[in-house]
A = this chain, B = another copy of it.
């Protein structure tokens, strides 16, 4: 007799890749087609204005690179800055760390500011550093809108204000991989110069597209910089995209998927998408409280509406909770990374999700914790989240 079990559906609660809606999966089931055909632009052209609507930019230019979000970071850097340029970046989690690392590899001089993990961008320190930079050697400020590793959302408007207060001309680059299309994002209002996101989070697609936008100022900067680049060249994209094509063969199923994902987002309405994410996140946070545990985010203002990192009690190994959840209950939780490895497990709550999916995940996390000896009241997290969800004014009567 086999000892494999029919798995049923995997409960996918890593903060990306997120669940593919059936509509997106259907949309991606397309035959190959000629990406130079006269009808191909009918698919391609409408994507850019729609992406700009998600980024909330009129003046900016949207890009679709066949790459992961990491490729988007590289595109942002190499198109706008030159090796040796100084950038200011704060580190408070694995993803802000990795972006800094990438800047170093690409020849930038990074002025690193350490912030405690569990907090986010500190505008005061940014303002201070910029004020000190009398000669305007700092060419860009890098901000991580949502630090996926710790479940912390930063106030990008405040970062913009810090730059303005310092009357500093630095560009503002934002990593919105796990925020865009899930959390409110105001590119023009916040004066963001490059925003980088990826297809596999709020856009509810497989990984494979770096979705980004650049301000006219950033694109202008790109014309005179000296970073070497080819694959990630903005100008090739701009020139080709204008006519509805790409400089090289794009991943056609992903483009069809993107078209459908955007349609889904606009049908729900971006405002409502953001409210839904907030609401679902509130339930998770209520569960954490009911368990008597703490999120990694050090204050309520840092709480992310797309991912919650949960600190296990002293003496327990979060990695074991995650392993149990996966092996026994078919529940994929996010691991703690680097400084918080073994200390936290993460519940992603973004993308195509609803209340019952999350309640199943919360129930599963409870079982995995109990199996590992963590003392929580069974069902307590579920009950706390239920109370939040039942009170949702967005739900139909």
Query: Given the known A-B contacts A6-B264, A249-B16, A386-B379, are A231 and B276 also in contact in the complex, defined by CB atoms under 8 Å?
Result: no
* Bound complex: CA A276 to CA B1 (Å): 14
Query: Given the known A-B contacts A4-B268, A356-B363, are A332 and B67 also in contact in the complex, defined by CB atoms under 8 Å?
Result: no
Residue A22 CB within 8 A of the other chain: yes
The answer, among B11, B14, B208, B326, for a CB contact under 8 Å with A251, is: B208
A229 / chain B contacts, CB cutoff of 8 Å:
105-106
A68 / chain B contacts, CB cutoff of 8 Å:
66, 231, 248-250
A378 / chain B contacts, CB cutoff of 8 Å:
382-383, 386-387
A208 / chain B contacts, CB cutoff of 8 Å:
66, 208, 251, 254
Instruction: Tell whether, in the assembled complex, residue B29 and residue A66 are in contact, meaning their CB atoms are under 8 Å apart.
Output: no
Smallest CB–CB gap between A145 and chain B, Å? 18
Instruction: Tell whether, in the assembled complex, residue A363 and residue B366 are in contact, meaning their CB atoms are under 8 Å apart.
Output: no
Smallest CB–CB gap between A390 and chain B, Å? 5
Residue A31 CB within 8 A of the other chain: yes
Residue A206 CB within 8 A of the other chain: yes
A9 / chain B contacts, CB cutoff of 8 Å:
9, 19, 31, 352, 354, 357
Query: Given the known A-B contacts A71-B231, A387-B378, are A249 and B200 also in contact in the complex, defined by CB atoms under 8 Å?
Result: yes
Smallest CB–CB gap between A337 and chain B, Å? 9
* Bound complex: CA A378 to CA B4 (Å): 33
* Bound complex: CA A233 to CA B71 (Å): 11
* Bound complex: CA A44 to CA B74 (Å): 25
Instruction: Tell whether, in the assembled complex, residue B227 and residue A352 are in contact, meaning their CB atoms are under 8 Å apart.
Output: no
The answer, among B269, B323, B356, for a CB contact under 8 Å with A329, is: B356
Per-residue CB contact flags for chain A residues 19-52 toward chain B (1 = under 8 Å, else 0) read 1111001111111111111100000000000000
Contacting B at CB under 8 A, from A352-384, are: 352-357, 359-361, 363-364, 366-367, 370-371, 377-380, 382-384
Query: Given the known A-B contacts A16-B249, A207-B249, A326-B38, are A367 and B390 also in contact in the complex, defined by CB atoms under 8 Å?
Result: yes
A83 / chain B contacts, CB cutoff of 8 Å:
228
The answer, among B29, B102, B330, for a CB contact under 8 Å with A356, is: B330
Residue A80 CB within 8 A of the other chain: no
Instruction: Tell whether, in the assembled complex, residue A6 and residue B352 are in contact, meaning their CB atoms are under 8 Å apart.
Output: yes
Smallest CB–CB gap between A328 and chain B, Å? 5
Interface residues of A toward B: which range? 35 or more
* Bound complex: CA A37 to CA B267 (Å): 22
* Bound complex: CA A272 to CA B3 (Å): 8
Instruction: Tell whether, in the assembled complex, residue B382 and residue A1 are in contact, meaning their CB atoms are under 8 Å apart.
Output: no
Residue A315 CB within 8 A of the other chain: no
A266 / chain B contacts, CB cutoff of 8 Å:
2
Smallest CB–CB gap between A204 and chain B, Å? 8
The answer, among B2, B6, B332, B359, for a CB contact under 8 Å with A34, is: B332
Instruction: Tell whether, in the assembled complex, residue A231 and residue B70 are in contact, meaning their CB atoms are under 8 Å apart.
Output: yes
A66 / chain B contacts, CB cutoff of 8 Å:
66-68, 71, 207-208
Contacts A/B (CB < 8 Å), 25 sampled = A5-B354, A6-B268, A6-B353, A7-B354, A8-B19, A8-B357, A9-B9, A12-B33, A22-B30, A28-B28, A29-B29, A32-B206, A35-B207, A38-B323, A38-B326, A66-B207, A70-B231, A70-B248, A106-B228, A207-B252, A251-B251, A355-B367, A359-B382, A379-B383, A380-B383
**Closest 3 interchain pairs by CB?**
A379-B383, A8-B354, A360-B360
Known: A1-B269, A6-B353, A6-B354; 18 extra A-B contacts, CB below 8 A, are: A5-B268, A5-B272, A6-B264, A6-B276, A7-B354, A8-B19, A8-B357, A16-B249, A17-B35, A29-B29, A71-B231, A74-B230, A105-B228, A207-B250, A328-B395, A329-B354, A363-B363, A363-B386
